[in-house]
Structure 1
């Protein structure tokens, strides 16, 4: 049974295709907005005033989605010079140490991402300096959902949220809690992926977090086919 056989189940394939589609969609939107903006600027002497801001947000989304997907596929870069000269048991130990550090980092990242996003979503930030020990006490004066983006206008189809989170006050620009929601979501996905990687290393399905050698295997397969020809 290979490392990622569990991902070949129908549900695993669906999740893979969904993640890949989201990443492709984000990249496509970034490319399209940038292209349209260049054409408008150099041909029509105008432009999308919100284009740069939206592209920046999409790039942040792409980084977080891509990082979580890379961890899942064991495609992250790493140096395996030491791992290649130690025994399999020691290699597994090093892998567990590395993934434990990554889990701790991802947990800190999740706390920071939640606290930053909560600042714009009328939600309490966590207490505690390093790890959450609870949630702060919220008062009405603590509500911060009125923070808006700088250039991106508020579309009419999103105005249903105004009575729910902004006390009926109209937004001129998109509220920041909408694009920033991917910060805690992406950090949570990264944490989950590292925990899954820890389970795979613990059970012996993988030895480390180092980039998989699928490309080398494919080259070897092609070379073997050429020899047969």
Structure 2
């Protein structure tokens, strides 16, 4: 099945698509389930899952960051194209290349900021350089810091105390876990912008935002498209 640019995703591409879509569905499912169960427990049994709100908030943040990269991949981000649509083909292509290049630079800045924020929680060094990384600088570890209410899953993450916290046990989930989506998500955003930039350079993509094709598809389905 071809995508909107006529490219075959291939077996690996299809696998990655399904993986990303399933991860998004799983996060949404957990959020809805926890919220529903907590409401029932609160109003029916006068009780609650004390850590559910923090988990839902964390998953919502994960969903936003992860969804940004998926939106770049599928070219579904909204934007204003009133100016570029009236440009001739060559200036429009130059504008698309410029926009894609700026997006890559922005993603690089995001990646540096995400790493520098998350690294202390993992007991790692932050990067040097104001805008782009020029090396690593030792920083004070924040690996001891924990979430407020989320229990520590010993069976799944029992290796973390010895790995990043000098063997000191955790009573709650350490902050390194919920914040790990920052470098992972920003790395995905950077990857997707680089891929989009390559497609724009190769002429396989002409915009970084959702085009008017969706409007035309809706009009076609409703029978109002002038060409149908």
Normalising by structure 1, what TM-score?
0.90
Paired residue secondary structure (2:122):
coil
Paired residue secondary structure (2:208):
coil
Q: 1:166: how far off? A: 1.9
> Partner of 1:147 in structure 2?
145
Q: How many matched pairs?
A: 224
> Does 1:14 find its partner at 2:23?
no
> Does 1:197 find its partner at 2:196?
yes
Q: 1:60: how far off? A: 0.8
Q: 1:8: how far off? A: 2.6
Paired residue secondary structure (1:72):
helix
> Partner of 1:42 in structure 2?
43
Unmatched runs of 5 consecutive residues or more in structure 1: none
Unmatched runs of 5 consecutive residues or more in structure 2: none
Q: 1:144: how far off? A: 2.2
CA deviations on 1:34-89 (whole Å, 9 max, x unpaired) are: 11111111111111111111111101110011110000011110111112111111
> Partner of 1:131 in structure 2?
132
> Does 1:207 find its partner at 2:206?
yes
Paired residue secondary structure (2:173):
strand
Q: CA RMSD for the aligned pairs?
A: 2.2
Q: 1:112: how far off? A: 0.7
Paired residue secondary structure (1:29):
helix
Contact 1:54–1:152, Cα closer than 8 Å, also in 2: yes
Normalising by structure 2, what TM-score?
0.90
